[in-house]
Copies of this chain bind each other. A is one copy, B any other.
């Protein structure tokens, strides 16, 4: 059975963007594949070294979100990255197979450095995180890695290391990975910007209470030129309709509303009310499952502990293969 590695950096609770771009797929993928879901705390620390308590808290938040959306610890192995020491060791060996120059030119990292405004102060740990990702992927011999299109250079870097390692140590120890790019990879923020992102403050979180969801929907970006109800409005770039397309199961009703909106005579508030109802219906079961799990934090930690043990077992087998291929298995 093919192995999938996926996961999230614990820097806050997960939002609708995560659901659409990855969580939803994982619930399907876990039925067909061996799926490892990593809570990447060590990676989060590469650019949040000064906020470890935020990272720590978010580990639990993310775990609750996973369980709430239906990632099943019986079907998926949910684990905490920093508790797999093998990953750090693999990273160290892989760093010797990658040039400093190559890291400097990773397009994803370059874009992120700009986004995060690091300037000259990029932490070294952040620059090397593509190599640590290669360790994550290869440790579990994952051949499928669900990523957004902007993350393709990461898979490329990982595969370069796989090739280089297997060639250098003359053994097919590591497995090449293939990117699995989701159909809908990106949900716009409520402000209409291309991406829902915690940093941009434009998210609806899976754990948001009903009132908060409603408030966020009511201030969502629509067609800025649609000033009077009777005017014709635009659908393209109208975030409320984008969300309806994604979340409203009644396709016919949505089409009807779109026509009406474009003709004129349908006000934003009415469309937003529809979206609010839709999202409340969608989020309600997730929210209530989340609340159930949140009542038993010890139980959730136990799930993470078990998953981490299972993940560690696999990673330690890979590390043992790696050391033996390198000939540094001393005892």
Contact = CB atoms under 8 A, between A and B. Distances in A.
Interface of A: 41-42, 45-47, 49-50, 52-53, 55-56, 59, 80, 82-83, 85-86, 88-89, 91-93, 95-103, 120-128, 131-132, 168-169, 301, 304-305, 323, 326-328, 330-331
Given A328-B82, A330-B301, A123 B96 contact: yes
A252 B124 CA distance: 56
Contacts of A53: 327
B86 A85 contact: yes
Contact of A52 (B83, B121, B126, B327): B327
A128 B101 CA distance: 13
B124 A331 contact: no
Contacts of A59: 330
Contacts of A123: 95-100
Interface majority SS (helix, strand, loop, mixed), chain A: helix
B92 A42 contact: yes
Given A97-B125, A99-B123, 15 more contacts: A42-B92, A45-B96, A46-B95, A56-B330, A83-B330, A88-B88, A95-B123, A96-B123, A96-B125, A97-B123, A100-B124, A101-B120, A101-B121, A128-B128, A305-B331
Contact of A328 (B41, B89, B102): B41
A117 to B, nearest CB: 14
Contacts of A41: 328
Contact of A304 (B82, B85, B121, B330): B330
Contacts of A98: 123-125
A168 B50 contact: yes
Q: Name which of A86, A102, A301, A328 has the most chain B CB atoms within 10 A of its CB.
A: A328
B96 A85 contact: no
